[in-house]
Amino acid sequence: MVKVIASSLRKGNVVDIDGRLYAVLSATNFHPGKGTPTTSVDMRRISDGVKVSERWKTTDQVEKATVDEREYDFLYEDGEGFHFMNPENYEQVAVHPDVMGDNKVYLQEGMRCYLRTHEGVAIAVEVPQKITVEITETEPVVKGQTASSSYKPAMTSNGLRIMVPPHVGAGTRVVINTDDNSYQERARD
């Protein structure tokens, strides 16, 4: 076990609290004008899937569990879960839908992801920070609307609702940030 300060925790990390492992779902640092800065962490207990929230001072020491982190390629989804393959030895791992959580909408066939395992069991999946998706529907471009005006809602091929600039139309491939579903740029392909 490695001790780290609470403010360094990120989504996908695994922490050990009282001998139980928790996967970090989200970590937010608060720096109030007065008082002590804190880190609020939402976690899922790996043993039974129960979600827990915890708050620490940003300087508190937290035990980070040692986990095996490797690159895996996403293959497919079926009744057993999400199947990934290690590109080095072709070993396949099935990941339970609870472990995938909200990341499942980002998965694309052949996508390279980081899979964290503890004693051979998948406990967390980290998808790439930027992915390319196709816009399936959006409002039409209005003549005279400048690029600097507000963004408009759009639906992507994987079912996400995002905000895009006015010049982006249906059929356009765009790059989005998987942390907050924000539009980054038009895809260069």
Region 98-113: mean pLDDT is 86
Q: Which residues are CB-contacts of 79 (< 8 A; sequence separation ≥ 6)?
A: none
Task: Read off the pLDDT of each residue in 116-145 and give the average, rounded to a whole number.
Answer: 80
Sign of torsion over alpha carbons 10, 188, 182, 125: negative
Whether residue 1 has pLDDT greater than 70: no
Q: Please return the burial class of 137, using the count of CB atoms within 10 Å of its CB with bins 0-12, 13-18 and 19+.
A: exposed
Name the percent of the chain lying above pLDDT 70: 95
Beta-carbon neighbour count of residue 142 at 10 Å?
A: 9
Q: How far apart are CA 164 and CA 154, in angstroms?
A: 7
Burial string for 66-94 (b: 16+ CB within 10 Å, else e) reads ebeebebbbbebeeebbbbeeeeeeeebe
Q: What is the pLDDT of residue 85?
A: 92
pLDDT given at position 149: 63
Mean pLDDT calculated for residue range 95-120 = 84
> DSSP class of residue 103?
G
Q: What's the pLDDT tens digit per position in 134-146? A: 999 988 766 665 5
> What's at 76, amino acid-wise?
Y
In tens, the pLDDT along 177-186 reads 887 888 888 8
Residue 74: the pLDDT is 93
Asked if residue 163 lies in contact with residue 176, where contact means CB atoms within 8 angstroms, the answer is: no
With bands split at pLDDT 50, 70 and 90, how would you rate the model's confidence at 40?
very high
Q: What is the mean pLDDT of residues 133-162?
A: 80
Domains and CATH numbers, the chain: 2-64 (2.30.30.30), 68-126 (2.40.50.140), 130-186 (2.40.50.140)
Q: Which is higher by pLDDT, 11 or 29?
A: 29
